[in-house]
Copies of this chain bind each other. A is one copy, B any other.
Amino acid sequence: MHLSALDAVPYFDRPSAPAEPGMPLAAVDTPALLLDLAAMEHNIAVVHGAVHDMNLALRPHAKAHKCVELALRQLQAGAVGICCQKVGEAEIFVRAGVPDVLITNQVVGAEKCRRVAQLALQARVAVCVDHPDHVRDIAEAARGQHVRVDVLIEVDIGQGRCGVANAAQALGLARAITAHGDNLTLRGVHAFSGRAQHLRQPRQREQDVAQASVLLNEIVGALHAAGHTCATVTGGGTGTYTLEGRSGIYTEVQPGSYVLMDADYAANELAPNQAPLRQALLGLCTVISARNGRAVLDGGLKTFAVDRGLPRVLRAGWQVTAVSDEHTVLQAETEAAARAAPLTVGDRVLLQPGHCDPTVNLHDWLVAFRDDVVEEIWPVDARGALR
């Protein structure tokens, strides 16, 4: 289904970039999505260092940034590969030279499975399964391309979404996978809970990962007892990766947001031993209207995803009160604040997005800056790669 749709030529392919290298931030066109390189480098140093110290593999989730340049920096900093969520994302990263991609999702349908098998000709590729039909379809596609594809059994550890619920279901899938031994390799188990990432208290997150680890130990024990290899147990995000790392059962963690950060993750209370991460992803907007302690910005729901709360404006005395299709409305907290730090037409403000993943997916470019100067412009290569 990877069509060229020759009869439908868009008038427009990718919006032009809002800046060019060497430009001061003050000259960047708005709305724009900025990447603070120093903050990004800090976050990579903290997380990659912590994972290295725990003697684990790190496989960052590229669905958060969808950006080849960022993935390459993560690989340079020790990542063993990346995670993707969509076959279309994996295709882009493999084309860019990423040698090892785990699709942390069920791939459904003959055509998407064929594309996975095709990718396996060029890179180490794995997918997740939680139903015998997934195994049958990916095996058939791998056989068709004469390749081997790695498979992980997804376990539902509390998200209530995809994944098997118990050892009996996992064993059934393991048997189905090994029955296709010429084309499929059982790599292990995938177990991720998005819900757990955003439990606000460290103790809540600890309990959640501890409970998941009990189930995983049972399942991995059952797989081993039945003679299956289970080399990899992978999962864990920005909110919990240190807990999976110390669980004794996970061999690999897959945080994604850590490199960018957002207001939702920033609201997590950190454990005493956790190094804070810095906000690397920022929205830059211009005030287009201002009146009575109110300022209206030139970016709204097409600039910021609001599914986990409104963006936070980084301007003392002002707060975001509404985001509509095309505008974000700021209100001065007090009359004194409005006088002390007024906003008027043409002023520019920075905002911390509420949720990084769907916000990045709204943008075609990341403006990477250091010390208020644009250093590089990175395409969000896999923006819109839905399939």
A residues bordering B, Cβ < 8 Å?
A: 1-5, 7-21, 27-32, 63, 68, 85-86, 88, 92, 95-96, 105-109, 111-112, 130-131, 133-134, 160-163, 165, 194, 286-292, 294, 296, 298-299, 301-303, 305-307, 322-327, 329, 345-346, 357-358, 361-365, 376-387
Q: How far apart sit A148 and B13, CA to CA, in the bound complex (Å)?
A: 30
- State the oligomeric state as a number of copies: 2
**Chain B's nearest CB lies how many Å from the CB of A22?**
11
Q: Judging by beta carbons under 8 Å apart, are A358 and B301 in contact?
A: yes
Q: Given A20-B5, A302-B358, A384-B362: A92 and B12 within 8 A (CB)?
A: yes
10 A-B contacts (beta carbon < 8 Å): A3-B18, A10-B379, A12-B95, A12-B382, A15-B88, A32-B387, A134-B345, A161-B289, A165-B292, A362-B362
Name A303's contact: one of B8, B163, B386 (CB within 8 Å): B386
* Most interface-central of A19, A289, A298 (chain B CB within 10 A): A289
Q: Given A130-B289, A325-B358, A384-B363: A11 and B161 within 8 A (CB)?
A: no
Q: Which residues of B contact A165 (CB under 8 A)?
A: 291-292
Q: How far apart sit A25 and B133, CA to CA, in the bound complex (Å)?
A: 22
Name A14's contact: one of B13, B292, B363 (CB within 8 Å): B13
Q: Judging by beta carbons under 8 Å apart, are B13 and A13 in contact?
A: yes
Q: How far apart sit A298 and B28, CA to CA, in the bound complex (Å)?
A: 36
Q: Judging by beta carbons under 8 Å apart, are A384 and B15 in contact?
A: yes
* Most interface-central of A11, A12, A13, A88 (chain B CB within 10 A): A12
**Chain B's nearest CB lies how many Å from the CB of A131?**
5
Q: Which residues of B contact A327 (CB under 8 A)?
A: 161-162
Name A296's contact: one of B63, B162, B325 (CB within 8 Å): B162
Apart from A4-B16, A12-B95, A302-B386: 13 A-B pairs, beta carbons within 8 A:
A10-B14, A10-B364, A10-B379, A10-B380, A30-B387, A105-B298, A108-B288, A133-B346, A134-B345, A161-B296, A302-B358, A302-B361, A363-B386
Q: How far apart sit A35 and B227, CA to CA, in the bound complex (Å)?
A: 51
Return the chain B residue nearest A13 by Cβ.
B13
**Chain B's nearest CB lies how many Å from the CB of A194?**
6
**Chain B's nearest CB lies how many Å from the CB of A328?**
10
Return the chain B residue nearest A364 by Cβ.
B384
Q: Given A63-B326, A346-B108: A163 and B385 within 8 A (CB)?
A: no
